[in-house]
Amino acid sequence: MPEVTVPIGPHHPALKEPVNFKVIADGEKIVRLELDLSYSHRGIEKAAEQRDFIRVLPLLERVCGICSHSHSTVFVKGIEEIMQVEIPPRAQYIRTIIAELERMHSHLLWLGVAAHEIGFNTLFMWTWRDRELVQDTLEEMSGNRVHYGMNEVGGVRCDLAPHQVSAALERLPFLEERIHQYTDMVNDQQTMLLRFKGVGKLSREEVLNYGAVGPTARASGVDYDVRRDDPYLAYADVPWNVVTDTNGDVYGRTCVRIGELHESVNIVRYCLENIPEGPVRINAPKIAPDGEIMSRYEAPRGELVHFIRTNGTNKVERIDIRTPTLANWTSVAMCLVNKNLADIPVIVAAIDPCLSCTSRITLINTPGGKPGIITFDELRKRRQISDKGRGLP
Amino acid sequence: MTPPLTLDFVAEKMNEFGTADLVRSNRIRIHTTPEKVSNAIKYALDTLGCDRLVTISTVDNGRTFELLYHLIGPHRTVISIAVEVPRETPDIISMSGILPPAGIYERQIHDLFGITFRGHPGLSKIILNEDWPPDEFPLRKDWKKNPDTYYGGIRKEGV
């Protein structure tokens, strides 16, 4: 039978984000896969070269709508290392709490999407409902649901008030119970076992050879985790384990992510209970000396790398961002070969692809309800009122 | 995990390819030349126990393009193999044969910097849209947006 090219995307019901696959198929079997990722390129690396360290952070946070804290943390931690600034331990703990909450909401979101891809929409509704608890915690702590804006060079933007800590702690037992239930479901729900087991298998050697990262790699027994290999934030103080699995298929990746949900709950609880007292930021210098740093971070999807070159000014000379999804594409393209066309959605979803969200213009509603732009003074006034309301100085 | 690599060990092993320096407690950089880069990477994979390519970072320093191949292994020490490619003839051998993930990074670098990778199986556009002019490379320091060029998206009225 002659080979046929099947175009999938950029707009396709099976894909959640704009990507175009040219699948070369022989009957139902996939022969080769070609990728086009250009649909959401926004030139952030170039734009980042033109902004100072204060104004570049909101931009970098918007590289991704799900791992927004990852991108800003990996950048500030790199810049702080070049500046040789040590940030206060309380700020490290707050960054860790936000980072792990972000991992929880990302993994719950993924579990829902994976369930949806195999037609198991009940689980999709359940995980997304539970994810709201994590989102509520994040909103309470930072004021935002998506782009938390917690980081700044030299610490974090806002402190945690005691009532926020206790509110977050109260939500954890329910989440823990739900995660236990998901663990049981993955192991005995026929719907999931049939569609996940043996699908998209990658051996340990293949993972290393194709350079896969994160849960995709750990599901094949490759125990790379930057949080342990190159400890940053408060991970060196917190007791936790790297979760690995030996199945190497979509089932293994699900087990790893659910295992990581358990670990994240424990890390968040430990950090909330043991958060040190003290300031949350220090005055960092406005300029960074000449330097080069390869800053690594374990984002929910895997190892995130920012390669930063500074030149003695308040702007970066070059920032090279390598996102985990880019590293995982090679393994996807390779493991789809010789598989069925129908397995594309679930195998692609199994790496949790994030093609970055499209950029938008936000209009802020003024009290009168009309769209408009808020002045800086008014923003500051509102911030002071909100701080007072939260019992902060 | 195995013990981290020391600078002395790496410098001695990689001596024939160029000088090594310790950039950070867990990152060693080796400066080599475009001719030796392929052998240096093969040697690092075989002798230093590296098993994975983390990424290829690119910098335009105004004089040359710098490429850094970051490798890692069970020792969790990042080995950065750095080469400089001249701006006038930006081409270098492709690593996609030895390291499959290099393929996608090289396509990205080709789009944004215009560096050609010899022997790459399909050096087609991946990051920039299909309407982007083929001879403009936006991450080069001397790139300026030309108001008369069409870069994709909605066309100006009357054009």
pLDDT digits (tens, 9 = 90+) for A240-276: 999 999 998 889 999 999 999 999 999 999 999 999 9
What is the pairing mode between strands B52-60 and B91-93?
Answer: unpaired
Same domain, A97 and A188: yes
Same domain, A118 and A226: yes
Token pair listed for A162: 């005691």
Same domain, A95 and A210: yes
The answer to whether the bond into A10 is cis (omega within 30° of 0) is yes
Contact A305 B78 (CB under 8 A): no
Same domain, A313 and A257: yes
Same domain, A199 and A286: yes
Same domain, A263 and A375: no
Contact B52 A211 (CB under 8 A): yes
What is the structure's pLDDT at A6?
84
Confidence of residue A21 (pLDDT cuts 50, 70, 90): confident
A35 in a structural domain: no
Q: How many CB atoms lie within 10 A of CB A2?
A: 5
A16 in a structural domain: no
Confidence of residue A165 (pLDDT cuts 50, 70, 90): very high
Same domain, A151 and A103: yes
Residue A315 backbone zone (phi > 0: left; psi -120 to 50: alpha; other: beta): beta
* Strand partners of residue A29: A26, A340
Chain B neighbors of A46, CB-CB under 8 A: 138-139
Cα separation, A79 vs A154, in Å, equals 9
What's the complex ipTM?
0.91
Contact present, A169 and A272 (Cβ < 8 Å)? yes
Confidence of residue A163 (pLDDT cuts 50, 70, 90): very high
Same domain, A262 and A144: yes
Contact present, A280 and A88 (Cβ < 8 Å)? yes
Cα separation, B85 vs A11, in Å, equals 39
What's the total number of domains in chain A?
2
Contact B70 A294 (CB under 8 A): yes
Confidence of residue A383 (pLDDT cuts 50, 70, 90): low
**Rg (alpha carbons) of chain B, rounded to whole number:** 18
Is pLDDT of A346 > 80? no
Average pLDDT over residues A73-78: 94
What is the structure's pLDDT at A371?
44
Confidence of residue A360 (pLDDT cuts 50, 70, 90): very low
A81 in a structural domain: yes
% of chain A at pLDDT higher than 90: 51
Same domain, A109 and A189: yes
A380 in a structural domain: yes
Spell out the SS3 assignment of chain B.
Answer: CCCCCCHHHHHHHCCCCCCEEEEECCEEEEECCCCCHHHHHHHHHHHCCCCEEEEEEEEECCCEEEEEEEEECCCCCEEEEEEEEECCCCEEECCCCCCCCHHHHHHHHHHHHCCEEECCCCCCCCCCCCCCCCCCCCCCCCCCCCCCCCCCCCCCCCC
Confidence of residue A122 (pLDDT cuts 50, 70, 90): very high
Residue of A nearest to B28 (CA): A294
CA distances from A18 to A9, A215, A317, A355, B107 (A): 7, 22, 30, 7, 19
Per-residue pLDDT of chain B (159 residues; tens, 9 = 90+): 788 888 888 888 888 888 888 888 889 999 999 999 999 999 888 888 888 899 999 999 889 999 999 999 998 899 999 999 999 999 999 998 888 889 889 999 998 999 999 998 888 888 888 888 988 899 999 998 888 888 887 777 765
Residues 6+ apart with CB under 8 A from B88: none
State whether residue A23 is helix, strand or coil. strand
Our CA-based measurement puts residue A384 at a distance from the nearest CA of chain B, in whole angstroms, of: 41
The CATH number of residue A253's host domain is 1.10.645.10
Average pLDDT over residues A343-370: 54
Same domain, A256 and A320: yes
CA distances from A171 to A36, A100, A101 (A): 41, 14, 12
Asked which of A1-10, A66-75, A217-226 is least confident by mean pLDDT, the reply is A1-10
Is pLDDT of A306 > 60? yes
A248 in a structural domain: yes
Cα separation, B44 vs A222, in Å, equals 20
Mean pLDDT, chain A, rounded, equals 85
What is the structure's pLDDT at A280?
92
Same domain, A328 and A374: no
Contact present, A140 and A164 (Cβ < 8 Å)? yes
Is pLDDT of A56 > 80? yes
A5 in a structural domain: no
Average pLDDT over residues A153-165: 92
Asked which of A42-51, A106-115, A211-220, A353-362 is least confident by mean pLDDT, the reply is A353-362
Confidence of residue A365 (pLDDT cuts 50, 70, 90): very low
In terms of residue numbers, what domain contains A373? Answer: 366-393
- Most A-contacting residue of B45, B126, B145 (CB-CB within 10 A), to test interface: B126
A38 in a structural domain: no
A113 in a structural domain: yes
Cross-chain CB nearest to A38 (options B57, B122, B125)? B125
% of chain B at pLDDT higher than 70: 98
Cα separation, A136 vs A138, in Å, equals 5
Same domain, A209 and A292: yes
- Most A-contacting residue of B104, B131, B145 (CB-CB within 10 A), to test interface: B104
Chain B neighbors of A320, CB-CB under 8 A: 55, 57-59
* Strand partners of residue A315: A52
